[in-house]
Amino acid sequence: MTPTEFQTEFDQLNDLLFAFAMKLTRDKENAKDLIQETACRAYKHRKKFTRGTNFKAWLTTIMRNTFINNYRKRRTRNQVEAPIEDFLFALENKSTTANGANSSIMMKELIAMLDKLSDLYRVPFLLFYQGFQYHEIANQLDIPMGTVKSRIFFARKKMKKMIIDRYGADVRRAA
Q: What is the pLDDT of residues 64-82, one digit of tens each?
A: 999 998 888 877 766 556 6
Full residue range of the structural domain in which residue 134 is found: 102-174
**Domain with 163 in it: what CATH number?**
1.10.10.10
Report if residue 114 sits inside a domain. Answer: yes
Which DSSP letter does residue 53 get? S
CATH of the domain at 10: 1.10.1740.10
Q: What is the pLDDT of residue 170?
A: 62
Torsion of Cα atoms, 13 then 14 then 16 then 18, to 10°: 160
Inside any domain, residue 81 = no
**Contact residues for 166 (Cβ-Cβ < 8 A; gap 6+):** 109, 113
| Position 35 in a domain | yes
Quote the CA–CA distance of 39 and 45 in Å, as a whole number: 10
Confidence at residue 20, expressed as pLDDT on a 0 to 100 scale? 93
Domains identified in the chain, total number = 2
* Dihedral Cα 9, 13, 18, 24, nearest 10 deg: -90
Looking at the predicted structure, is the pLDDT value of residue 153 above 70? yes
Decide if 124 contacts 148 (C-beta within 8 A). Answer: yes
pLDDT tens-digit readout, 99-144: 666 677 878 888 888 888 898 998 998 888 888 899 999 999 999 9
User: What is the pLDDT, as a whole number, of residue 99?
Assistant: 63
Distance of CA 159 to the CA centre of its chain: 24
At residue 3, the pLDDT reads 87
Question: 110 and 63, same structural domain?
Answer: no
Q: What is the pLDDT of residue 82?
A: 62
User: Would the pTM count as exceeding 0.85?
Assistant: no
Instruction: Determine, yes or no, domain membership for 15.
Output: yes
Residue 87 lies in a domain: no
User: CB neighbours of 142 closer than 8 A, spacing ≥ 6?
Assistant: none
**What b/e sequence results for 29-43 when a residue is b if at least 16 CB atoms lie within 10 Å of its CB, and e otherwise?**
eebeebbebbbeebe
Assess whether pLDDT exceeds 50 at residue 175: no
Q: What is the DSSP string of 88-127?
A: GGGTSPP-S---THHHHHHHHHHHHHHHHS-HHHHHHHHH
Q: Does 45 reside within a domain?
A: yes
Q: Terminus-to-terminus CA distance in the chain, angstroms?
A: 58
Q: Which of 42, 76, 110 is the last residue of a domain?
A: 76
| Contact in structure between 171 and 164 (CB atoms under 8 Å) | yes
pLDDT for the residue 66: 92
Q: How confident is the model at residue 166 (pLDDT cuts 50, 70, 90)?
A: confident
On whether both 66 and 7 belong to a single domain, the answer is: yes
pLDDT of 174 higher than 60: no
- What is residue 51's predicted lDDT score, i.e. its pLDDT? 85
CA 32 – CA 62 distance, rounded (Å): 15
| End position of a domain, from candidates 58, 76, 94 | 76
Please report, rounded to a whole number, the percentage of residues in the chain having pLDDT higher than 90. 39
Flag whether 117 is in a domain: yes
